[in-house]
């Protein structure tokens, strides 16, 4: 029996030449839900080393079919989720295809689900998100530079964009004049003060939102 967790690979007898990676698909939106889908088995092309096919394995092309039994399908995936109909839920396999592909036949689904859900072949260790993992994912979202860039753009949206401003008349283009206004000691100091003030305002607003997460002291260390 193979004991598997996130990131591991397995093979299924009915789909030779294909590796299936146990992919973490737990989501913060479903944290705490005992029935959330815990993992997805995604098809991969084996790496060059036959003795260790997981090394160098690459994701199966989304538009390349996988042969299951007598028929081929693209976008094949297998979900692993707790069985709602058991008193002590165990993970069950649910085979399906992506929305852009034809559905699996009943025989194909049954075959994949029987093999992936074989409790004598595989033992999956797929716990729900731990507090440490939840914190790490929240921190990653908070510190991602994409929302920071959007917040910055929103903050200065009424200021002129020096990279696009152009009235078509170079003698009357204010871009250089605006740059010059800050390209001196006094202007640099005012800009630095503005950046500090904006940073504090953003920090205060973000901190206010984070109060909903739990024990964050309102007037604690900044």
Q: What is the mean pLDDT of the chain?
A: 87
Half-sphere exposure of 105 (CA within 13 A, CB side): 10
- What pLDDT does residue 196 have? 93
Q: Tens digits of per-residue pLDDT, 163-209?
A: 677 666 666 677 778 888 888 999 999 999 999 998 898 888 888 88
Distance between CA atoms of 104 and 68, rounded to whole angstroms?
9
Q: Report the C-alpha gap between 112 and 117 in whole angstroms.
A: 8
Residue 222 has pLDDT above 50, yes or no: no
pLDDT, residue 107, reads: 93
Question: HSE of 163 in the Cβ direction (CA atoms, 13 Å)?
Answer: 0
Can you list the alpha helix ranges (DSSP code H) found in 101-130? 106-116
Q: Tens of pLDDT along 90-105?
A: 889 999 999 888 999 9
Q: Pairing mode, if any, of strands 122-124 and 2-4?
A: parallel
Which is more confident, 155 or 76? 76
Q: What's the pLDDT band for 59 if we cut at 50, 70, 90?
A: very high
- Would you place residue 52 in the very low, low, confident or very high pLDDT band (cuts 50, 70, 90)? very high
Cβ neighbors of 58 (< 8 A, separation 6 or more) are 44, 45, 47
> Mapping DSSP to helix (H, G, I), strand (E, B) and coil, where does residue 88 land?
coil
pLDDT at 15: 93
pTM above 0.85, yes or no: no
State the number of CA atoms in the 13 A half-sphere of 60 facing the CB: 22
């Amino acid at each position: 029996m193979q004991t598997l967790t996130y990131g591991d690979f397995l093979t299924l007898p009915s789909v030779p030449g294909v590796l299936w990676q146990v992919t973490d698909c737990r989501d913060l939106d479903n944290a705490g839900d005992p029935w959330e889908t815990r993992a997805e088995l995604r098809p991969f092309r084996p790496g060059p080393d036959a003795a260790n096919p997981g090394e160098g394995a690459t994701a199966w092309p989304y538009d390349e079919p996988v042969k299951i039994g007598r028929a081929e399908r693209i976008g094949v995936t297998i979900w692993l989720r707790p069985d709602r109909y058991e008193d002590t839920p165990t993970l069950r396999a649910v085979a399906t295809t992506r929305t852009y592909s034809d559905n699996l036949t009943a025989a194909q689904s049954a075959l994949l689900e029987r093999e992936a859900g074989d409790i004598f072949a595989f033992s999956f260790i797929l716990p729900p998100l731990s507090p440490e993992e939840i914190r790490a994912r929240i921190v990653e979202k908070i510190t991602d530079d994409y929302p920071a860039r959007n917040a910055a753009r929103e903050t200065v949206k009424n200021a002129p964009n020096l990279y696009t401003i152009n009235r078509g008349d170079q003698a009357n283009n204010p871009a250089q004049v605006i740059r010059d206004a800050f390209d001196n000691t006094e202007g640099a100091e005012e800009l630095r003060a503005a950046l500090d003030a904006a940073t504090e305002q953003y920090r205060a607003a973000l901190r206010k939102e984070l109060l909903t997460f739990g024990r964050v002291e309102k007037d604690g260390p900044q």
